[in-house]
């Protein structure tokens, strides 16, 4: 059986969605499943560091059109009408004649102040149409499902919930201490403790109040920690750079851009804590990855976080500067709390291993391949927990 995959998120620097596609394809190659020909379509060749399994073919469909039009025109023409098309990043070709499985990762409408009017309007149009047009729809949390019902008018019975996952074979505790010390020394100039934020630097994730909270701890508690920002560069014009300057933290905040997956294991294991104070997430993969490594996590009691991190992470009521300061201080001041988090995190993360998540996707894909019809399968509850 053949399976087509929209692999557009596998080109360029890969964020959470691209890494999810890689993980799903790798796990499919290790499973007993019927898709022996998996075609990954992209508008240009995937980068050499993308580890596609041997059973996957990268079929390049070059086109002078923008990527959004490539997805709508070039992709469905090449794939045809017979085989299932897996669309793991929000959008399906609206003119597709084949069965489609759409994965949605969280609504722009859920936190509109984070996006400009044009981005919101464009996303609302294509995401709504894609969700309504797809044969089968999946999203990554119960919270995201509620948003899809609210904003897109979908029947909740149509929407499957399959969470994001984590590679527990890679993201795990117990990395050699000497290796972590050497990595910290190379990153900061000395083997020093640090607190980390992972993700795109956006106000939706409250990076400014987080930097200010760190500044308070440096002044009030004289903590020895550095603060590491991983995920994107902060140019000199960035408002976050101005906050760093205002707080006089230039020597204590280190910014790393895109970090390869293997190095992220060192980032999490080497950190005293991950702080991820996002006001809106469909899921929140950095939180799950840190938990898998046994790293204490501070995040917010909102959106999807209570679903998978409740009872393990420290969930704060808001992202005010003083709330964040108190939350981080609670972690730093309580070795017993850190030890409980280090023990509970990997146990919880194991319930979201990519192999279990992929099995749920494969089940839906097999249903689509067997029925080859436009009637959507009714949603079944996630059985990971």
Residue 385: predicted pLDDT:
52
How far is it, in rounded angstroms, from Cα 72 to Cα 257? 31
Asked if the model's pLDDT at residue 55 lies above 80, the reply is yes
Q: Rounded mean pLDDT of the chain?
A: 92
Lowest mean pLDDT among 84-98, 121-135, 166-180, 325-339: 121-135
Q: Which residue(s) pair with 85 in the sheet?
A: 4, 100
3-class secondary structure, 39: strand
Q: Which of 384, 335, 385, 340 is nearest to 361 (CA)?
A: 384
Distances (CA, A) of 315 to 14, 269, 308, 310, 318: 28, 20, 12, 7, 9
Residue 384: predicted pLDDT:
64
Residue 100: predicted pLDDT:
97
Mean pLDDT value of segment 116-136? 83
Between the two ends of the chain, the Cα-to-Cα distance in Å is: 31
Residue position matching structure tokens 């039009």: 69
Residue 269: predicted pLDDT:
98
Residue 382: predicted pLDDT:
60
* DSSP class per residue in 266-284: HHHHH-SEEEE--S--SS-
Distances (CA, A) of 33 to 285, 307, 358, 365, 380: 26, 29, 11, 10, 20
Burial grade of 342 (CB within 10 A; 0-12, 13-18, 19 or more)? middle
11: CB partners within 8 A, 6+ apart? 42, 43, 44, 45, 46, 47
Q: Which of 136, 143, 171, 129 is nearest to 157 (CA)?
A: 136
Q: Which of 207, 263, 202, 196 is nearest to 230 (CA)?
A: 196
185-230 per-position pLDDT tens digit: 999 999 999 999 999 888 889 999 999 999 999 999 999 999 999 9
Cβ pair 251, 159 in contact under 8 A: no
3-class secondary structure, 372: coil
How far is it, in rounded angstroms, from Cα 97 to Cα 133? 10
The domain segmentation of the chain, as residue ranges, is 2-165+353-371, 177-350
Instruction: Tell me the backbone φ, ψ of residue 91, rounded to 5 degrees.
Output: -125, 135
60-74 per-position pLDDT tens digit: 999 999 999 999 999
117 pLDDT band, cuts 50/70/90, is: low
Q: Edge-to-edge strand order for the sheet containing 100-104?
A: 56-60, 37-42, 2-6, 84-87, 100-104, 136-139, 159-161
Total number of residues shown for the chain: 385
Mean pLDDT value of segment 153-158? 94
Model's pTM, two decimal places?
0.92
Inter-axis angle of helices 261-270 and 285-292, nearest 10: 70
12 pLDDT band, cuts 50/70/90, is: confident
Q: Which of 150, 64, 144, 154 is nearest to 107 (CA)?
A: 144
How far is it, in rounded angstroms, from Cα 208 to Cα 218? 15
How far is it, in rounded angstroms, from Cα 19 to Cα 278? 20
Domain 2-165+353-371 in CATH 1.10.10.10 = no
Residue 186 CA to chain centroid, in angstroms?
27
Asked if the model's pLDDT at residue 301 lies above 90, the reply is yes
Mean pLDDT value of segment 305-333? 98
Q: Do domains 2-165+353-371 and 177-350 have the same CATH topology?
A: yes
Q: Where are the alpha helices (DSSP H) in the chain?
A: 16-30, 67-69, 75-79, 117-133, 142-152, 177-188, 207-220, 239-246, 261-270, 285-292, 305-309, 321-333, 335-350, 354-371
Residue position matching structure tokens 């499985």: 101
Token code pair at residue 325: 């300061």
Mean pLDDT value of segment 114-139? 83
Mean pLDDT value of segment 304-311? 97
Domain 177-350 in CATH 1.10.10.10 = no
């Amino acid at each position: 059986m053949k399976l087509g995959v929209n692999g557009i998120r596998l080109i360029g620097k890969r964020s959470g969605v691209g890494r999810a596609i890689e993980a799903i394809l790798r796990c499919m190659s290790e499973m007993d499943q019927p898709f022996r020909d998996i075609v990954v379509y992209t508008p240009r060749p995937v980068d050499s560091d993308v580890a596609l399994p041997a059973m996957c073919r990268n079929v390049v469909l070059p086109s002078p059109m923008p990527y959004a039009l490539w997805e709508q025109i070039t992709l469905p023409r090449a794939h045809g009408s017979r085989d299932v098309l897996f669309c793991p990043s929000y959008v399906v070709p609206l003119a597709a004649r084949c069965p489609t499985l759409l994965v949605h990762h969280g609504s722009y409408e859920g936190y509109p102040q984070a996006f400009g009017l044009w981005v919101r309007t464009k996303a609302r149009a294509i995401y709504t149409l894609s969700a309504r047009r797809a044969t089968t729809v999946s999203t990554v949390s119960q919270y995201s499902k509620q948003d899809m019902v609210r904003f897109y008018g979908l029947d909740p019975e149509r929407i499957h919930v399959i969470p994001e996952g984590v590679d527990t074979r890679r993201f795990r505790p117990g990395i050699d201490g000497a290796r972590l010390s050497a990595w910290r020394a190379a990153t900061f100039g000395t083997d020093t403790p640090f607190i980390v934020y992972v993700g795109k630097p956006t106000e939706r994730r409250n990076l400014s109040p987080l930097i200010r909270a760190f500044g308070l701890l440096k002044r009030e508690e004289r903590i020895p920690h550095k603060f590491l920002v991983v995920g994107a560069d902060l140019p000199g014009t960035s408002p976050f750079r101005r906050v760093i300057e205002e707080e006089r933290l230039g020597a204590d905040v280190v910014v790393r851009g895109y970090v390869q997956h293997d190095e992220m294991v060192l980032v999490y294991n080497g950190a005293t804590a991950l702080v991820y104070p996002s006001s809106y997430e469909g899921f929140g993969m950095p939180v799950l990855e840190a938990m898998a490594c046994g790293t204490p996590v501070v995040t917010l009691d909102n959106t999807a976080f209570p679903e998978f991190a409740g009872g393990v992470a420290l969930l704060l009521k808001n992202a005010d500067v003083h709330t964040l300061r108190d939350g981080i201080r609670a972690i730093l001041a309580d070795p017993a709390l850190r030890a409980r988090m280090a023990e509970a995190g990997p146990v919880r993360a194991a319930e979201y291993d990519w192999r279990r998540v992929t099995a749920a996707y494969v089940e839906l894909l097999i249903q689509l391949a067997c029925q080859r019809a436009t009637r959507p399968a009714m949603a079944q509850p996630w059985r990971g927990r």
